[in-house]
A and B are shown apart, each in its own frame.
Chain A
Amino acid sequence: MTATPVSLGRRLRGRQNQNLWFWVFVGPFVIGLVVFIYVPIAWSIYLSFFDAYNTVTPTRFVGLGNYADMMRDEAFRSSLSTFVVFAAGIVPTTFALSLLTALLVARTRVMQTFFRSVFFLPTACSYVVAALIWKMSIFAGVPSGMVNAGLALAGHDAIPFLSLTRPPWYWLVIVSARLWLQVGFYMILFLAALQRISPTLYEAAAIDGAGSWQQFRFITLPQLRPTSAAVLLLLLINAFQAFDEFYNILSTFGQYPPYARPPLVYLYYVALGQGQDFGHGSAGAVILTLVIALSALVFNRFVSLRGES
């Protein structure tokens, strides 16, 4: 270090340069957080009050006009409501499957590490890559697609999974891709929590004559409550933020169909596609953020109430 005045410089650096090292390690992340998260959020809110076509330094203030437009926009409303339904379906499904896999893996005595890795591996896969494999290989609409080849063996005609809307086969494609990608991650969270439950509880329960369902219901589930709450919240936010697999599976040449269109995909086409309408796009993003925040709050209240009772 250079010869700065001893007392002040040293005091700022703290004992053994603790403060200095604190900022060396934390500083880059704080800067990144501010530059890439907080400034954009603030800017986005700012833009949402302006007429901002093809500019991010708008001049025409429109007040709440963009918000009113977005709330009147039938396509945006329908994407929001679709994803409320989607969240209501996918959150419990992912939750149940992750918990089930975690229980199975935790009970396995042979090759536990192997199974744990196998179920966790998809998490490391890129959403885009998985989406393309689902779209172009497994659920390809051509007779040579994997599932269609299986159907052909059973004497069934090929199904154009992504082209038909009645029945909505595209949900099968999207939901299965999403489950494959996500279940492993939440399984690991559950597995970690399961291993923290003291075995003495189960031993005591066994002595009291509790069966395996009772053990699960009265020991495992209550002990998992903090983890369950976190997992549910993460899943909820995740469901509303859906983008990658939807966009890569369903978007066609320059457009995205009006069904199974996540709010983010719709906003992407409004603000970041050919239409560079940042005012309405930002207003939509703020509305979506509020919807997520509100759902999370309501949900959190619900979980904590149950915790107290």
Chain B
Amino acid sequence: MSERTVIGQLGRRQLLALGGTAAGMGALAACGGNTGRSTSTTSGGTSATSGSSGSSSAGGAKPTLQQWYHQYGEAGTQQAVEGYAKAYPDADVKVTWKPGDYDQTTAASLLTSSGPDVFEYGNGPTIDMIKGGQVADLTGLLGDADSDFNPAVLKRMTYDGKLWAVPQVIDMQILVYRKSMFDKAGVKPPETIDELITAATALTTDKVKGLFLGNDGGVGLMGAPMLFSAGLDYLDETGGFGFDTDSAVAAFGKLREMFTSKYLLQAAPKDWYDASALTSGLTAMQFTGLWTFPSIEKEIQDDYGAIPWPAMPGGKKSVVVGAYGSCVNAKSANVEAAKAFVKWLWVDQTDKQLDFATAYGFHIPARASLVPQAKTLQSGPAKDAAAAAQEFGHAQNSILWTPKCATAFGDMMTNIVKNGADAKAEIAKVKAIAEAEVKRVLG
């Protein structure tokens, strides 16, 4: 969601270099394997540890908890979370700040006994982590605050009636535009995709392109908002396939039209998660995240506005929201202590939640009662964005939409948008994979 770097690859590169294909493949498995194999003994050790920590806690010593975060792009965030950890009275919390491929590292570490006790994960743990018993059930941790959390995000982190993560802050993706360029070209903020296309065409000049959707032309980013704007979803309420319709074909067709147009900015020095394409005047509109608003404000002051992704015929405007959820490792030696810490930080300590959401980049507090207190969200485009998230917010994906489905979806998007493949046939391919995956997960 916020910025991640590509440079974390060295470790894996060396690993793969070690023994090529099968060996490389297995090397990681074996790292996990050494400890995974001794799960039974570890759990024996675990009970011993918790026993000793139990007895030592009688003596007054605090348990030690490892907490992992991915590397947030905004300055000061790391110091902030370290400060929160230090302030916790009931355990000695050590924060690890992990640059690079956070999701992969974390997922791999959960196989071992050296994983974190508490960790954040995009939109909560994956369905396979839940099914595999890697994360602890956090049901009941929210207490009375249950109804105060953003329902869309909470629903995304719930499976089988149980809660698996506590939302930290809500991130959102939104379309931002340069007001001055709109005024000059005499265009209004678009309400529909067709208006967006007209506007983008009118805004394009020799130097400035109309629209920027990422360095891959929107392939990786725009599939979800386009589906939501067409009134569709990845999966329906019962886990059935959600977009084998003509409206989906039309929606993806619009992205193809944009990709082949003259008004789409194909490359910028920084990708969509940074607003520099907009602020440096390369584009008049850009799809990006709420977190970039402080830097936009710094560069171009109030010369910008924020609007939801426009509607397709038969649908309505959409805003993609997601949230990092705080999870507890089921293999942790101190599951109860870890749960208590998660409850303390992400449920009880509302002042820290507010600070985390607003003091560095802009995010929306996960608890609705905190939103009015978030000063950064009370005026200008940030206020519009927060209101749009409330009205048009749509969780980034479904919990049953597995990584395999996501890969198939990404392939489909590339084939349709970049290669002009037949959308209907491509959707059918994804449908076959997704239906098999849902069956596997639910079965």
Residue ranges of A at the interface with B (Cβ–Cβ < 8 Å): 35-37, 39-45, 47, 53-57, 74-75, 126-128, 132, 140-142, 144-145, 158, 160, 162-166, 237, 240-241, 243-244, 247-248, 251-259, 264, 267-278, 281-282, 285-286, 288-289, 292
Question: How long is the Cα–Cα vector from A252 to B33 in the complex, in angstroms?
Answer: 30
Interface string of B14-28 (1 = CB under 8 A from A): 001011111111111
B9 within 8 A of A: yes
Do the beta carbons of B215 and A40 come within 8 Å of each other?
no
**A164 and B30 contact, Cβ closer than 8 Å, known pairs A128-B13, A258-B415, A282-B25:** no
Please name the residue on chain A nearest to B37 by beta carbon: A57
A83 CA / B408 CA spacing, docked (Å): 20
Minimum Cβ distance to chain B for residue A136 (Å): 8
| Chain A residues positioned under 8 Å from B414 (CB to CB) | 165, 257-259
- Residues from chain B with Cβ under 8 Å of A44 in the complex: 22-23, 25-26, 29
The yes or no answer to B10 lying at the interface (CB within 8 A) is yes
Cβ-defined contact, A160 with B267, below 8 A: yes
Q: Contacts A55-B111, A142-B269 given: A271-B13 contact, CB under 8 Å? A: no
Query: Smallest CB–CB gap between A297 and chain B, Å?
Result: 16
Q: B129 at interface (Cβ–Cβ under 8 A)?
A: yes
Contact A163 B29 (CB under 8 A): no
Interface residues of B (CB under 8 A from A): 4, 6-7, 9-10, 12-13, 16, 18-30, 32-33, 36-37, 39, 103-104, 107-108, 110-111, 126, 128-129, 131-132, 134, 214-217, 219-221, 266-269, 271-273, 402-404, 406-408, 410-411, 414-415, 418-419, 429
Determine if A253 and B271 form an interchain contact, defined as CB atoms under 8 angstroms apart.
Answer: yes
Closest Cβ neighbor of B101 among chain A residues: A273
On whether the beta carbons of A276 and B107 are closer than 8 Å, the reply is yes
A252 and B25 form a contact (CB under 8 A):
no
Rank and list the top 9 A-B pairs by shortest CB-CB distance, nearest first: A141-B267, A40-B26, A275-B403, A44-B26, A160-B266, A54-B132, A285-B25, A258-B411, A274-B403
Say how far A4's CB is from chain B's closest CB, in angstroms.
33
Question: In the complex, which residues of chain B have a beta carbon less than 8 angstroms from the beta carbon of A282?
Answer: 22, 25-26, 29
Instruction: Give complex CA distance A163, B30 in Å.
Output: 37
The residue in B134, B268, B407 that gathers the most chain A C-beta atoms within 10 A of its C-beta is B407
> Which of A42, A252, A281 has the most chain B CB within a 10 Å cutoff?
A252
Q: Is the pair B128, A275 in contact by a Cβ cutoff of 8 Å?
A: yes
Q: Report how far A165 CA is from B259 CA in the complex, Å.
A: 11
A53, B19: Cα distance in complex, Å: 23
| A163-B215, A252-B214 as given contacts; A241 in contact with B21, CB under 8 Å | yes
Q: Is the CB of B267 within 8 A of A158?
A: yes
Q: How far is the CA of A243 from the CA of B19 in the complex (A)?
A: 13
Residue numbers in B under 8 Å from A273 (CB-CB): 103-104, 107, 403
Query: Once bound together, how far apart are the Cα atoms of A200 and B217, in whole Å?
Result: 62
* A276 touching B419, Cβ below 8 Å: no
Q: List A contacts of B268 (CB < 8 A).
A: 142
- Whether the pair A243, B132 counts as a contact (CB closer than 8 A) is no
Complex contacts, B269 vs chain A, CB 8 Å: 140, 142, 144
Q: How far is the CA of A36 from the CA of B24 in the complex (A)?
A: 9
Please name all residues of chain B whose beta carbon is closer than 8 Å to the beta carbon of A256 when the two chains form the complex.
410
Q: How far is the CA of A241 from the CA of B110 in the complex (A)?
A: 27
Interface centre among B9, B21, B24, B128 (most CB of A within 10 A): B21
- Contacts A47-B26, A252-B219, A257-B410 known; 15 new A-B pairs at CB < 8 A: A39-B30, A54-B132, A57-B33, A57-B36, A74-B429, A75-B411, A128-B6, A142-B268, A243-B13, A253-B271, A254-B103, A259-B414, A275-B403, A282-B25, A288-B22
A/B interface sample: 22 pairs, CB < 8 A: A36-B19, A37-B27, A40-B19, A40-B23, A40-B25, A40-B29, A43-B26, A53-B132, A56-B29, A56-B36, A57-B36, A142-B267, A160-B215, A165-B419, A252-B271, A254-B103, A270-B404, A273-B103, A276-B111, A281-B25, A285-B24, A286-B22
